[in-house]
Amino acid sequence: MTAVRTYFSDVFMGLWTALVGMSITLRYLFSKPVTEMYPDVKPRTPTRYRGIHVFEEEKCIGCYVCAKACPVDCIEIGVVRKGKEIKITKFDIDYQKCMFCDLCCEPCPAHCIHMGPEFEKASFTRKGTILQFATPKTLTEEEKKVEKVARK
């Protein structure tokens, strides 16, 4: 007898729970979709968003602390020092390696590197993923001699 009862209750429950599920999906059919229209409408990233770095060249003192803090060694810095004057000749971040961990920004003594809101930096070439933050400068021969380029 129990076998008969389970048989019929199975048939009934099968149909009933299907209907319950269908009522839920039907309700969402008429509700507002949650889709973000991403390429058309750019999402607003929160203030703490960890995207492509923002670098303030004029503040940087070329101390390499950020490059040292980076776990994957993807920051390359070139500096020319002439007495008190500091020229940042190179500040490249390789975004093939960078994992947006924020570890480089914290120890910076001059607070000149931050994580920015930008995230669209896909590129078709490997070279294109290395971003150069320092403004390009032409160096004199003498400056070229004292330029120090370091990764870590």
Footprint of ligand SF4 (CB under 6 A): 60-66, 69-70, 72, 74-75, 77, 93, 98-104, 108-110, 112-113
Alpha helices in 76-131 (DSSP H): none
From other proteins, ligand SF4, none, interface partner of 119 (C-beta below 5 to 8 A by class): none
Site membership for other proteins, residue 46 (CB under 8 A): yes
Site membership for other proteins, residue 103 (CB under 8 A): yes
CA distance 58 to 86: 9
8-state DSSP, 64: -
Instruction: Give the DSSP letter string of 42-54.
Output: PPPPPTT---SEE
CA distance 96 to 129: 6
From other proteins, ligand SF4, none, interface partner of 64 (C-beta below 5 to 8 A by class): ligand SF4
Residue 14 or 109: which CB sits closer to other proteins? 14
Site membership for other proteins, residue 21 (CB under 8 A): yes
